[in-house]
């Protein structure tokens, strides 16, 4: 049973690239030897997460997620699929904890590694 505070959101998962996190401006990716004058957007996935993001773009409608994948990501990620996630975070994002609770933990390990820890001491 899902609490009323939770709503269904839809995320894009690629078995090789991981969870689609969103986009970044190419000019902001200067640490990756990108051309700073290139104004295109860069798709960010959990397997390559230089910003240590712990949330994924969560579409409110499955059709919107499918359309986004089809238009912008299909050529790069033909094996990607749309996954439903019950999430209680505000806005168009799904939190990594809720992604794991929704059954997609095997795709979320890169996001889990980015969660802040109470102690950074290695035990």
Whole-angstrom distance, CA of residue 56 vs CA of residue 8: 13
Each residue of 75-84: pLDDT tens digit? 999 999 999 9
Strand partners, 106: none
Whether this prediction's pTM lies above 0.85 is answered by: no
pLDDT < 70 regions, the chain: 1-4, 26-40, 120, 122-123
| Of the candidates 110, 5, 16, 20, the residue with the CA atom closest to the CA atom of residue 72 | 20
Which tokens hold the place of 38? 């290139």
Q: What is the pLDDT of residue 52?
A: 87
């Amino acid at each position: 049973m899902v609490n009323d505070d939770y709503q269904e959101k839809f995320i894009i998962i690629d078995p090789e690239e991981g969870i689609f996190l969103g986009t970044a401006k190419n000019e902001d990716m200067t640490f990756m030897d990108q051309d700073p004058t290139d104004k295109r957007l860069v798709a960010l996935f959990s397997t390559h997460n230089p910003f240590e993001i712990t949330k994924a773009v969560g579409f409110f409608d499955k059709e919107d997620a499918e359309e986004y994948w089809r238009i912008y990501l299909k050529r790069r990620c033909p094996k990607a699929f749309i996954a439903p996630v019950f999430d209680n975070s505000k806005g168009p994002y799904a939190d990594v904890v809720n992604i794991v609770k929704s059954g997609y933990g095997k795709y979320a390990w890169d996001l889990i590694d980015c969660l802040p820890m109470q102690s950074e001491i290695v035990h």
